[in-house]
Structure 1
Amino acid sequence: MAWRPRGEGLALAVAILLATVLIALPLGLLLVKGLAAGDGLSLGPVAEALGSRSVQRALLNSLDSSFFSALAATAVGTLLALVLGLTDVRAKGLFVFLLLIPMMIPPHVTAISWIQAAGPSSPLLRTLGLAPEPGTTHPLYSRWGVILLLAVQHTPLVFLVVRAALRAQPRELADAARTAGAPPSRVLRRIVLPLLAPAIVAGFGLAFVSALKNFGIPALLGIPARYTTLPVLMWQRMASFGVSILENVAVIATIMAGVAVMAVIVVALLQRYGRAALTGPPRPPLSFRLGAKRPLVEGALLIFVALVVVLPLSALLATALVRTYGLPLNAATATLDNFAEVLVRQGVTVRAFLNSSVAAGGAALALAAFAIVVAHLGTRHGAVRRLAGAVDGLGDIAYAIPGIVISIAFIVAFIAPLPVIGVSLYNTLLIITLAYGAAFLTIAIKPVATAFAQLDPALEDAARVAGAGYAMRMRRIFAPLVAPAAASAAILVFLTAYNEITVSALLWSSGNETIGTTIFNYEDGGYTTLAAAMSTVTVGATVVLMLILDRMGRHLPAGAVPWR
């Protein structure tokens, strides 16, 4: 049946308009500002910026920390995926959930928790009598400290990608090799890993790009070590000089965006040329029995979880419970006053919780509804499908570009008063909400698109034959059917935006603070116990939301919840 440009046409036009205003326009204006030279556009400003020693050093540090942390995350994440995907270890679901917690905790909270877990003033280490001597340089204030925590943060990303590919592998070759008497090590080396190569490359690329745009960890660990990355350099210049240096920062942001996009393209090409042909449909994955080694492997997994999850979060809680940072935690020093301070007394923290809830919640609800429309249009044919794919592609581009670049693009686009109404969005909570919409659009679309892929196309045809218009089809058929996936998409967006700092680092203002910026400012200003208390509350809220999403995932199509 021919497509009628009525309801669908209006929905498509609105989708394109919103994607243009929120993504294409700000990034386009940023590119123009970054390449502006006299009366035209030129690569001269970029060349001049790259000639600066501070930019060169920041760019090299960004590539250095991203590359080595991605290597470490790929090695560990692949190993974890193989262990949990191919062996008979027990409590796999629990291990998977625990291993994914570092991915959902904001990077600046990860940095704060590790700073408080390993330093000479750590209340946890002082309580255990294991703290380094007072005055000792913190071991994480270094290049390797930044790389280590970036690897910890992004190992779950690689784990998810490789685990999903492992579960999708056909078993014919591996079964044949095992039947011929090949030991598990040879099956793994000669069959499983070569078939996993594209997924491993994809995991490396995802970890690399995620590390490249990370702000919280390089800021809190790198600044004391004078190890500055490009996102931190842009933040430092804007924080010091404000919008008066916007043109200079726009050039650096253009470089940063270009590096991120090139990294995505290179990884995509490597995946394409490294993809191996499969011999059959996916089947239940291989399962190797560990026998007497199973307790040892399970013990190693428990130790890993204790080191990357339990230790830093315990240190965070211990710091939140002491009266002054540096004291050991005992009956004489324990207090709940820090929690009372951030939850009740401090106006800025109460306001930050409210602002983040409003901005993240508003963006999550709007994106979930928007995702239903775009994902549905993506099931159509011809030009409609291609245009809906273009909107989805803009979301992918915005997600690949560092959040701090998105925030600079929004400053460039919306610092001037809007036409007609004459009001500027700069220094308002609305600009943060809109930036969340641009940065996290793709997170909302993917689960909903997965749900639409499970629906029978005959539903659309039957509804049309019955005379149902576009609005009725969406309201009575498709929206209810994909509502669970849309709800999971909203929770994913909320989880991502609620505690983030990268996007809001340059967009917040007095009265419009977010949780991420407030925690960062507390830690940067020396109010460590308040930063720890606020971080503990946000981690608790994150884990609760993850549990809710995990339970919802039991009733959703495979892929709607990333870790299921």
Structure 2
Amino acid sequence: MVAIPVVALVYGSFRTSAPGLPGEWTLQNYAGLASSGVLSSMTTTLIIGLFTSVISIVVGTTIALIVHRTDFRYGNIVVALIGLSFYFPSFILAMAWIIVGAPGGIYNTIIDDVLGMSWLRADIYTSAGIVFVMSLHQVPFVYLTMRGPISGMDPIYEEAANTAGAKPHQVLLRVTLPLLGYSLISSFILTFVMTIEQFAIPALLGIPGQVTMLATQLYLLVRFTPTDYGLAAAIGVALSLITGAAIWAQRRITTAGRLTTVTGKAGRLKLIPLGRWRWAANLLCFGFIFLGLVMPMVILIYTSLLKWFTVNPLEGMYTLRNYIFIWESASTVRSFTNTLIVSGVGAAVGVTLGLLCCYFTLRLQPRGYRALDFVVSLPFGVPGVVLGLGLLWAYAYLPLPLYGTLTLMIIAFVTRFLPYATETIGGQMVQIDKSLEEAAWVNGATRAQGIWRILLPLVTPSVQGAYFLLFMAFFREISSAILIYSVHTAVISISIWSFFEQANWGLASALAVVATLIIFIAMALIMRLVPTARRG
């Protein structure tokens, strides 16, 4: 399942024709990588990735330090709202900021018509706009990855520095941050990978402004004439090599860089007083929440209730027709049904496969098990839109009637997010001593009974957590679906994308509001029912 699209993508990069059509072998596609257009896209991708990663690391780590290492008063509120923003879909966030920051959007209309200060105009359809919106999307990820190392670090080191007379900012710069160095580097690399493989935000903001990243260029080469599937496949291979190399570096840093920050000697955490900087801490935390969650939701709700878009809410003609259309439209209802099927069934398939892979690689460990472990982890380094193109190539040749079915959509989503399941389940399975199963075998239990009665009950929390992660990831996924969907297999994310492409902001916003509410409600229910999700 994992290897097929990767192999098919490499195959397609050496062909002159589209998937399923006769063609010849060629190296011209890879020669095309040296063209000015592709090199420009690659440079833009790397620059945007680096700037976004730096901003996200600084803001996300700072928020984590404020919430978990200072006497910040609103920690629980900030943690809950950042958790919600983490599950806020990227393409919906981009839509909201287009409504705000487009040349004819809310911000520029207010600047021109109300304030008469045209020199303050802004354009979201620029590289800076992409960096800004992607930073809003990535900061919650950085916060969540840094929260554990920051809150779990033994304060004995900082106490020693305080005893030696160091000031708070000196402790932060000379003790805290160096101890978090490997976590910061690891989080930076993962953020960089997630940024350069991002599709929705660069496409929605970059295509109108002619700012092209590699994932966007791949999409344009496949979806619009003149198409060039071979060059698109070669770009996909190149992008996968970049992300794969970054993932390899992150894994090396994670395994090699082991600083002991949790000791057996418990230290009492002394919170750093914010003092006169409390206003700055409040501004940063709540400012981010406003820009990354509250304002986008308010803008989408406002737009969804308008008959015709207007900046002045006092001049608006309000209506519920967009929500009525969603309820009455057969295609929209079908996209909801498809999403629930793909998310529910796909998550179950992904968890089952992840559990089997973990048992095979961590318990049985036959000859060649490391190869399976490597193959399963491959999707970490393959961007979603690249994976979709690989599936397009693969199932155009395989004698399986999968194209245009929900089965292919499930295969795409499971393949892309299978490492989520293996990492979640495997992280707990390695902590369970094999002697527990062996004791059951000694007492007459078969291997299957040992698994069913001993191992499965012990890993159930991680299995539940994995299902939670996969369900939420499937529900909001768009990048791996954008190239393989059909009219009958479109999911909610595709329907929202289609409405927005048609400049129907009202319908797109209404559907985005409904989808976001479903995500938030599902997250609340799962966190209440699943202990693992609540702890994570």
Report the equivalent of 1:408: 389
Q: Does structure 2 conserve the Cα–Cα contact (< 8 Å) formed by 1:120 and 1:134?
A: no
Given the superposition, is the C-alpha separation of residues 492 and 89 from structure 1 closer, same or farther in structure 2, using an over 3 Å criterion?
same
> Which letter maps to 2:12?
K
Look up the match of 2:52. Answer: 69
Aligned residue number for residue 4 of structure 1: none
Q: What is the Cα deviation at residue 293 of structure 1?
A: 4.0
Instruction: Tell me which moved more, 354-363 or 233-242.
Output: 233-242
**8 Å CA contact 1:74, 1:203 repeated in 2:** yes
1:158-173 alignment, distance < 5 Å: 158-173=142-157
Q: Do 1:415 and 1:424's aligned partners in 2 also have CA atoms closer than 8 Å?
A: no
CA distance in 1, matches of 2:123, 2:60: 24
Report the alpha carbon displacement of residue 546 of structure 1 after superposing the two structures with TM: 2.3
Q: Say yes or no: does 1:222 pair with 2:206.
A: yes
Q: Distance in 2 between matches of 1:50 and 1:515?
A: 34
Matched, 1:24 2:7: no
Q: Distance in 2 between matches of 1:178 and 1:515?
A: 53
Structure 1 residues 330 and 209: alpha-carbon distance in aligned structure 2, compared to 1, 3 A threshold: same
- Residues 225-267 of structure 1 show CA distances to partners (whole Å, capped at 9, x for unaligned) of 100111111111211249x733232112111111111222344
Aligned to 2:302: 318
In structure 2, relative to structure 1, the CA distance for the partners of 1:106 and 1:93 (3 Å cut) is: same
- Are the structure 2 counterparts of residues 468 and 274 from structure 1 closer, same or farther at C-alpha, using a change threshold of 3 Å? closer
- Conserved 8 A contact 2:57-2:184: yes
> Taking structure 1 as reference, are residues 105 and 533 closer, same or farther at Cα in structure 2, changes over 3 Å only?
same
- Is 1:376 aligned with 2:359? yes
**Secondary structure, aligned partner of 1:512:** coil
Equivalence map 1:363-512=2 (5 Å)? 363-380=346-363, 382-383=365-366, 387=369, 390-418=371-399, 423-512=400-489
Query: 2:517 is matched with which residue?
Result: 540
2:89 is the alignment partner of 1:106: yes
536 and 76 in structure 1: CA distance in 2 versus 1, 3 angstrom threshold:
same
Q: Structure 1 residue 454: deviation in Å?
A: 4.5
* Structure 1 position 268, deviation (Å): 4.1
Counterpart contact for 1:197–1:275, Cα < 8 Å:
no
How many residues are treated as equivalent by the alignment? 528
> How far does residue 310 in structure 1 lie from its aligned partner after superposition?
0.8
CA contact (8 A) 2:101 2:108 kept: yes
Matching residue of 1:361: 344
**Partner amino acid for 1:463?**
A
Shift in alpha-carbon separation, 1:542–1:522, aligned structure 2, 3 A: same
Secondary structure of the residue aligned to 1:326 is: coil
Task: Say yes or no: does 1:176 pair with 2:160.
Answer: yes
Gaps of 5+ in 2: 18-23
Deviation at 1:406, TM superposition (A): 0.5
> Which residue, 495, 503, 525 being the options, matches 1:518?
495
Q: 1:42 deviation in Å? A: 9.7
User: In the alignment, residue 251 of structure 1 is paired with which amino acid?
Assistant: A
C-alpha contact (below 8 Å) 2:437/2:451 kept by paired residues? no
Q: Mean alpha-carbon deviation: is it higher for 130-139 or for 325-334?
A: 130-139
Q: CA offsets, 1:307-344, max 9 Å, x none?
A: 221111111111111112225445962222211211x2
Once the 2 structures are TM-superposed, how far is the Cα of residue 514 of structure 1 from its aligned partner? 1.4
Residue equivalent to 1:94:
77
* TM-score, normalising length: structure 2: 0.89
Cα 1:479–1:125, aligned 2, differ >3 Å: closer, same or farther?
Answer: farther
Letter in 1 for 2:382: I
Residue deviations 1:337-389, cap 9 Å, x none?
211211x22222111111121112221011112222233344426537x71x5
With normalisation by structure 1, the TM-score equals 0.85
**Please, which moves more after superposition, 481-490 or 152-161?**
481-490
Specify the alignment match of 2:244 in structure 1.
261
Q: Is the 8 A contact 2:189 2:250 kept in 1?
A: yes
**Are the aligned partners of 1:415 and 1:425 in contact in 2 as well (CA < 8 Å)?**
no
Secondary structure of the residue aligned to 1:380 is: helix
Query: In structure 1, how many angstroms separate the alpha carbons of the residues matched to 2:344 and 2:192?
Result: 29
Letter in 1 for 2:183: A
Contact 2:241–2:381 (CA<8 Å) still a contact in 1?
no
CA change 1:113–1:285 in 2 (3 A) is farther
1:250 counterpart letter in structure 2: A
Q: 1:336 to 1:211 in 2, by over 3 A?
A: same
1:545 deviates by: 2.2
Q: Contact 1:103–1:153 at 8 Å: present in 2 too?
A: yes
Distance 1:37 1:282, change over 3 A: farther
Partner residue, 2:224: 240
Name stretches of at least 5 consecutive residues in structure 1 with no aligned partner: 1-21
Shift of 1:270: 5.2
Please say which of residues 278-287 and 440-449 is displaced more in the overlay: 278-287
Question: Following the alignment from structure 1 to structure 2, what is the Cα–Cα distance between the partners of residues 293 and 541?
Answer: 41
Quick check: 1:141–1:221 contact (8 Å CA) kept in 2?
yes
Q: CA deviation at 1:458?
A: 3.1
- CA-CA distance at 1:24 after TM superposition: 1.4
Q: CA–CA distance in 1 between the matches of 2:108 and 2:300?
A: 12
User: Is 1:306–2:290 an aligned residue pair?
Assistant: yes
Do the aligned partners of residues 537 and 121 (structure 1) sit closer, same or farther apart at CA in structure 2, a change above 3 Å counting? farther
- Cα distance in 1 for residues equivalent to 2:262 and 2:89: 41
Maintained 8 Å contact 1:89/1:294: no
CA-atom RMSD in angstroms:
3.1
The more displaced of 228-237 and 294-303 is 294-303
- Residue 409 of structure 1: CA displacement? 1.0
Structure 2: distance between partners of 1:102 and 1:130? 32
From 192, 195, 212, the equivalent of 1:211 is 195
Q: Percent identity?
A: 24
Residue of structure 2 equivalent to 1:15: none
